[in-house]
Amino acid sequence: MTTSPRLARAATLLLLFVTAVWGSTFFLIRDLVETVPPSDFLAVRFAIAAVVMFAVFRRQTLALSRADLRLGIALGVLYGLAQVLQTVGLAHTDASVSGFVTGTYVVLTPVLGALLLRDRVDAVTWGAVALTTVGLAVLSLRGLSVGYGEGVTLASAVLYAGHIIVLGRWSTPSAAVGLATVQAGVIALVCGVGAVPGGLTLPSGGGQWASVLYMALVAGAAALWAQTWAQAHLTATRAAIVMAMEPVFAAFFAVLLGGESATPRLLLGGGLVVASMYLVELRGMLARRRRRGASAADDPPVEALHHDV
């Protein structure tokens, strides 16, 4: 990748801003799901995002091959299920904790790569898994059991890791924006099916609709455009390290605006999870220096490395 230092700095700052936007969605959803069922909220959010994204990225979406279209549908189903689980988890745990637990997909990706693709898991990755396990224990254990919200959120992180694995194996950079648009539409359909039994409950009041529009347009469509531009000027490693700040921003906004407390448990457990994420990124960077090319577990497509809710 060849780009000027000035553009690289601008791209880094823009991606950091986008990551902060993603982090800000956790506490907003935490409030929304108290009155709007998770599937209903997600169906509305992603329907709006899909319409806007198709209007903006119509040419790229229509240019997708049949294979890419099938891939986009499969990825949308996988991502949609992960979104539902993550949002359900948010109804039962603090937004700050949810951000850190969700971020474990960075560590889970190479582990799933070993299980599904037979990639080798080195000592550094196992060290990151150990750090994550301890961090999750600090964040989630209630006596000898894991809280329901944290357990459901961890299940969503596993699905997100699988989503990254599939993208890394079968997607192409040129189809990324079109795939994202198809996925948004499929996620809306998946969540809409989940909303059918109880009837669709829409957000009520200007405040809730403002939150939904913010997450659909700013944290969704606009963030995708900004992310796509920024990643064209950054290496995958640098972009991934910036995006690993998402759970930190989630905790920051939850404490600053969401009324949560920066407890010792949150600081210690969250710090261990973030340390494990950076350890995995360092391992990937060293691996790429040793050889050309990398597996999906070592170098997942950077456009897949965020999972805002």
- Residue where the block lists tokens 């965020």: 306
**Mean pLDDT, residues 64-72:** 93
| Residue pair 129/107 in contact by the 8 Å Cβ criterion | yes
Quote the longest CA-to-CA distance of the chain: 55
Closest CA to 270 of 85, 137, 151: 137
117 contacts: CB under 8 Å, gap ≥ 6: 165, 169, 295, 296, 297
Query: How many CA within 13 A on the CB side of residue 72?
Result: 24
DSSP-H helix ranges across the chain: 5-32, 38-56, 58-62, 66-90, 95-102, 105-117, 123-140, 148-170, 176-195, 205-213, 223-231, 236-243, 246-256, 264-290
pLDDT greater than 50 at residue 304: no
Greater confidence (106 vs 184) lies with 184
User: Could you tell me the pTM of the whole model?
Assistant: 0.79
Q: Of residues 210 and 132, which shows the higher confidence score?
A: 210
DSSP 17-74: HHHHHHHHHHHHHHHHTTTS-HHHHHHHHHHHHHHHHHHHSHHHHHT--HHHHHHHHH
State the Cα–Cα distance between residues 147 and 141, nearest whole angstrom: 6
Contact 71, 179 (CB under 8 A): yes
Mean pLDDT value across the chain: 82
Contact 283, 124 (CB under 8 A): yes
Closest CA to 110 of 183, 173, 168: 168
- Phi and psi, residue 153, nearest 5°: -65, -40
Radius of gyration of the chain (CA): 18
Quick one: pLDDT at residue 63?
94
pLDDT digits (tens, 9 = 90+) for 228-278: 788 667 765 566 667 777 888 888 888 888 888 888 888 898 888 888 877
Half-sphere exposure of 173 (CA within 13 A, CB side): 9
In this structure, the number of other CB atoms found within 10 A of the CB of residue 113 comes to 25
* d(C-alpha 86, C-alpha 250), whole Å: 14
CA atoms within 13 A on the CB side of 216: 23
pLDDT of residue 305: 46
User: Comparing 45 with 285, which gets the higher pLDDT?
Assistant: 45
Per-residue pLDDT reduced to its tens digit, 17-48? 988 998 899 889 988 988 999 999 999 999 99
